[in-house]
Amino acid sequence: MVKLSPIVACGTCPIRHNAVCAKCDAEELVILEQAKSYKTLPAGSRLAEAGETLSYFSTIIEGCATISRTLEDGRRQTVGLLLPSDFIGRPGRATSPFDVEALTEVKLCRFERTTFEQLVTDTPHIATRLLTMTLDELDAARDWAVVLGRMTAREKVAAFLVSLARRQAGARGTATAGGRAVVHLPLSREAMSDHLGLTIETTSRQMTALRKDGLIETPTKREIHIPDFDALAFEAAEDDDGGPIV
């Protein structure tokens, strides 16, 4: 089920100013235009497999994917959630240490790996932007370690909804703090649980508890309404003003 998407120019690309190309000038963009190609993959596709060679590095234009590892006995932990403008691949290494799987249909902007590695070397604006993005991801990974290591199930679920709401609002350019917010869940309960380090049963129970406490509303299983964003953030044991700086 792999289909070719209509060609999109970088100038009209929805993630132009957030992706790895964000800092590129018009001249550099011309080079990227020539090297890029688009690909749409269906939900459930493997975009990368731990240890396997990656032919392409990609940026997600649309859709959602997880970075995860599965232990031999089947335990799985999701270690990153990829949304539009996020980058898949690591210059200087041909393989990924984790699995990357599409949760929804995903539209990618791809570069052949070796081509991209050359671009990083030749184009300082790409290297700089990639460093910034990697540092942001590192901060996010460490923020998440606090959730995994020290939070209760209820706090984990609240923290996840809060974090997803912030990212989705950020992508739309809307605010979160204060009033209502809406989150669309691209993850199943199982995928959520793998991200939270919980079982699906515990995740489900905590969702129910948050709903009964009036902290969330669930018109459908994949749509979450947050009547009072700050109240939910409080449940997530947020220590400071407003969550990760990312």
Site of interaction with DNA (CB under 7 A): 152-154, 188-190, 197-205, 207-208, 218, 221
Question: How many residues belong to the chain?
Answer: 246
Please state the φ and ψ torsions of residue 126, each to the nearest 5 degrees.
-75, -45
Per CB under 8 A, 71 contacts its own copies: yes
Query: Residue 91, interface with its own copies (CB under 8 A)?
Result: yes
CA atoms of 46 and 228, how far apart (whole Å) = 37
User: Within 10 Å of residue 154's Cβ, how many Cβ atoms?
Assistant: 19
Q: Which does 132 bind (CB under 5 to 8 A by kind): its own copies, DNA, none?
A: its own copies
Closest C-alpha to 78, from 238, 190, 223: 190
For residue 143, state whether it binds its own copies (rule: CB under 8 A): yes
Name which of residues 149 to 168 contact its own copies (CB under 8 A).
Answer: 149-150
Nearer to DNA, 77 or 118 (CB): 77
How far is 229 from 182, CA to CA, in rounded Å? 9
Output the smallest distance, CB 193 to DNA, in A. 8
Task: In angstroms, give the least distance from the CB of 93 to DNA.
Answer: 32
Query: What is the H or E stretch that residue 42 is in?
Result: none
Q: Which of 30, 35, 94, 138 binds its own copies (CB under 8 A)?
A: 138
Which spans in the chain are helix H? 26-35, 113-122, 124-150, 153-172, 189-196, 200-212, 229-235
Residue 97 as a binder of its own copies (CB under 8 A): the answer is yes
Query: Where does this chain bind its own copies (CB under 8 A)?
Result: 51, 67, 69-73, 75-77, 79-80, 90-93, 97-98, 124, 127-128, 130-132, 134-135, 137-139, 141-146, 148-150, 196-197, 237, 239-240, 244-245
